[in-house]
């Protein structure tokens, strides 16, 4: 299809400016450009059609099944969008909270922040939550900065963070950006961390341990309580990466498992919009040890005895904890995303959230049961909300790789699962259906994968050439990585 | 097949005794796991390295990964061509696709590395 620049017709305009009704003020000559900017010259209708056509080529959870492992691409209920469209929230200016008169107008938004933090604390078993971090990895970085602040305050000299080899790449990146060395702990053949290998890497320099549970193999870490005890004996803090919270929400709580700090991905577990522009939200939760260091300012409740006499009286105010690591995002984080998550949590309630994790785990295991006849699970048992397959036999026997199967799925109307992650599994394919899909959809997806497995034996070349029925065929990933050029001019 | 005259590390590097210097690269198995390589970062010449230090990094269409020093020593030379043409490693992992050369190496560490046949059995367990 033509780029917007290629649709240019000289002199076409999409905007009509109002007539000038103030005296014209000439710009200084040195600020004027010599040549006109080479912008597309198109009409409003050209623009509308161009971007409508682009959007129709988009692939989203609103149009198709999207079982991208480790990403929890669940449906975003429109009820939460309706709440977020409420003008009382939508039109709030973030600077209102900094003016004395505006402060009163923010009380409703403050209540949403306060109550969302309390709900997330209850769900996770953490003492306090901050909504400031604006993405999952940002929540990780905040959590690691809190760990650093704690040890600094206690006078500990610790420079290392332990991370399993199955972790998301963002874990070591967050630890390294915060100035820590990273020590890797290997997974055992069953896909979990064994206490012996953990003991080997644990020492007095370890400031923290970052775990994902269930881990990125989709397996619950059976020794998590003992790992917590060992870490705490070494005065190291335990970090919970909330990427896979969807598997356990309402069933168990990271705080009860011994975790000291965690992040939530509201855009995963709490059904807010996700991916390719988000915006995301990665609130951080902490137990007693780290609560004094949380980012500020925080929304706190005012005792009814101390309420101001303003109209309306202020029930909430802003305060920064004494030992706070300070601001880690402008204003209050991605407030509108937290608002959607708040609506989602209230709409589902405790029973609904328990159903979320039950169905997420059921759906993943249903798919695994159907796929097992043709595909090999990467680990013998214990998958929770996602299952990991290894296509290493396809690769060695048929020269059909995970990428070929992924591309063939695109032709059949499904988003491909995650491939080549986790790195610990050869030719891995990681499928996370989430709780929002029906048995009908799961069956259609399983049928497609089984048909592809059959095709791999009959006509592997057909898979190497997939996709055939999309706007673009097989893309040259090497060229995209080495010669990326996103500019037209 | 992995060449007989090389020694191998558990991290899938090979090392060749060229007399004064020791040449280091990654094995065919490692290349196969990585897929098409898109970027390579190499160490500074003169860098002192200990065994298992990460000294170079590789990005491929599938993953990013490190190259570790199979033995301690000092970086004597790097393969500049890889910076512009990382695909050389995919084409010729044991010859043109070498990464760096080490001097003043820890001889005992070199002697303890795997032979080609030991590496073959090690791969079977992977």
ipTM of the complex: 0.77
Distance CA A422, CA A390 (A): 10
Whether the per-residue pLDDT at A307 is higher than 70: the answer is no
Picking from A420, A421, A482, the nearest residue to B38 by CB comes out as A482
**Cα–Cα separations (whole angstroms), residue A103 to A92, A108, A337, B53:** 11, 10, 21, 55
* Residue A136 and residue A70 in contact, taking contact as beta carbons nearer than 8 Å: no
pLDDT at B102: 97
The shortest C-alpha distance from B124 to chain A (Å) reads 13
B36: closest chain A residue by CA: A478
Rounded mean pLDDT of A20-24? 93
The full DSSP string for B93-112 is: TTTTT--EEEES--HHHHHH
Nearest to A420 among B36, B59, B63 (CB): B63
pLDDT for residue A228? 98
Give the start-to-end residue ranges of the domains of chain B. Answer: 7-112
Tokens of A133: 């971090």
Average pLDDT over residues A294-316: 78
Asked if B62 lies within 8 A of A420 by C-beta distance, the reply is yes
pLDDT tens for each residue of A143-200:
999 999 999 999 999 999 999 998 998 999 999 999 999 999 999 999 999 999 999 9
pTM of the model: 0.90
Interface of A with B in 166-195 (CB under 8 A): 169
Residue A420, chain B, CB below 8 Å: the answer is yes
Nearest to A132 by CA among A297, A290, A333, A339: A333
For A241, phi then psi, to 5°, come to: -80, 115
Q: Give me the residue from A169, A421, A478 closest to B38, CB to CB.
A: A478
* Residue A443, pLDDT score: 98
- Give the span between the Cα atoms of A274 and A217, in whole angstroms: 22
Nearest residue of chain B to residue A420 (CA atoms): B62
A309, pLDDT greater than 60:
no
Domains of chain A and CATH, by start: 4-56 (no CATH), 80-346 (3.40.640.10), 351-481 (3.90.1150.10)
pLDDT of residue A156: 96
Q: What is the pLDDT, as a whole number, of residue B107? A: 94
Indicate the residue of A169, A423, A478 with minimum beta-carbon distance to B61. Answer: A478
CB contact under 8 A, A478 and B36: yes
Alpha-helical regions (H) of B24-102: 28-34, 81-84, 87-91
Q: Per-residue confidence at A308, pLDDT binned at 50, 70, 90?
A: low
Best interface-test mutation with A: which of B36, B53, B66, B84 has the largest number of A CBs within 10 A? B36
Facing residue for A423 by CB, picked from B38, B59, B63:
B63
Chain B residue at shortest CA distance from A481: B38
B-chain residues within 8 Å CB-CB of A482?
38-39
Is it the case that residue A303 has pLDDT exceeding 80? no
- Write the class of the CATH domain B7-112: mainly beta
């Amino acid at each position: 299809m033509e780029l917007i620049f290629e649709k240019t017709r000289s002199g076409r305009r999409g905007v009509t400016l109002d007539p000038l009704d103030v005296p014209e003020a000439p710009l200084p000559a040195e600020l004027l450009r010599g040549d006109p900017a080479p912008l597309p010259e198109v009409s409003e209708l050209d623009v509308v059609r161009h971007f409508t056509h682009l959007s129709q080529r988009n692939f989203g959870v609103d149009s198709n099944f999207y079982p991208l492992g480790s990403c929890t691409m669940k449906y975003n209920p429109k009820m939460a969008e309706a709440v977020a469209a409420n003008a009382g929230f939508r039109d709030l200016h973030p600077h209102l909270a900094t003016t004395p008169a505006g402060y009163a107008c923010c009380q409703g938004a403050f209540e949403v922040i306060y109550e969302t933090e309390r709900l997330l604390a209850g769900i996770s078993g953490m003492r306090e939550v901050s909504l400031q971090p604006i993405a999952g990895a940002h929540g990780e970085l905040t959590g690691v900065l809190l760990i650093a602040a704690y040890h600094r305050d206690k006078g500990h000299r610790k420079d290392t963070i332990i991370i399993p080899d199955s972790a998301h790449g963002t874990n070591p990146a967050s630890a390294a950006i915060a100035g820590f060395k990273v020590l890797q702990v290997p997974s055992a053949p069953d896909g979990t961390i064994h206490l012996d290998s953990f003991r080997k890497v644990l020492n007095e320099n370890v400031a923290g341990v970052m775990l994902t549970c269930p881990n990125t193999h989709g397996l619950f870490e059976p020794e998590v309580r003992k790992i917590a005890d060992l870490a705490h004996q070494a005065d190291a803090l335990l970090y919970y990466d909330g990427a896979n919270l969807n598997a356990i929400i309402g069933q168990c709580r990271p705080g009860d498992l011994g975790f000291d700090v965690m992040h939530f991905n509201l855009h995963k577990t709490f059904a807010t919009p996700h991916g390719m522009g988000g915006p995301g939200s990665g609130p951080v939760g902490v137990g007693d040890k780290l609560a004094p260091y949380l980012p500020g300012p925080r929304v706190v409740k005012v005792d009814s005895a101390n309420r101001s006499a303003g109209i309306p009286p202020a029930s909430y105010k802003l305060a920064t904890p004494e030992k706070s690591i300070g601001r880690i995002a402008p204003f209050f984080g991605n407030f509108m995303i937290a608002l959607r998550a708040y609506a989602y949590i209230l709409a589902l309630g405790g029973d609904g959230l328990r159903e979320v994790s039950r169905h997420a785990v059921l759906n993943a295991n249903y798919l695994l049961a159907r796929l097992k006849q043709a595909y090999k699970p990467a680990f013998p048992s214990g998958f929770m909300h996602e299952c990991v397959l290894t296509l290493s036999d396809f690769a060695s026997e048929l020269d059909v790789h995970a990428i070929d199967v992924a591309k063939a799925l695109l032709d059949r109307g499904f988003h491909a699962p995650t491939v080549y992650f986790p790195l610990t599994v050869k030719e891995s394919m990681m499928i996370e259906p989430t709780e929002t899909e029906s048995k009908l959809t799961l069956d259609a997806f399983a049928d497609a994968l089984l048909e592809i497995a059959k095709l791999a034996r009959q006509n592997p070349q057909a898979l190497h050439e997939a996709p055939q029925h999309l706007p673009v065929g097989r893309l040259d990933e090497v060229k995209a990585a080495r010669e990326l050029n996103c500019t037209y001019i | 097949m992995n060449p007989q005259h090389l020694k191998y590390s558990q991290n899938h590097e090979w090392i060749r005794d060229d007399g004064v210097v020791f040449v280091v690269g990654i094995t065919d198995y490692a290349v196969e796991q990585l897929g098409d390589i898109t970027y390579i970062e190499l160490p500074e010449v003169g860098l002192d390295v200990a065994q298992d230090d990460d000294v170079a990094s590789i990005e491929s269409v599938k993953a990013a990964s490190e190259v570790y020093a199979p033995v301690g020593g000092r970086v004597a030379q790097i393969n500049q061509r890889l910076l512009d043409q990382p695909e050389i490693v995919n084409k010729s992992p044991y010859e043109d696709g070498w990464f760096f050369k080490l001097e003043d190496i820890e001889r005992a560490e070199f002697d303890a590395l795997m032979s080609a046949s030991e590496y073959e059995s090690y791969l079977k367990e992977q």
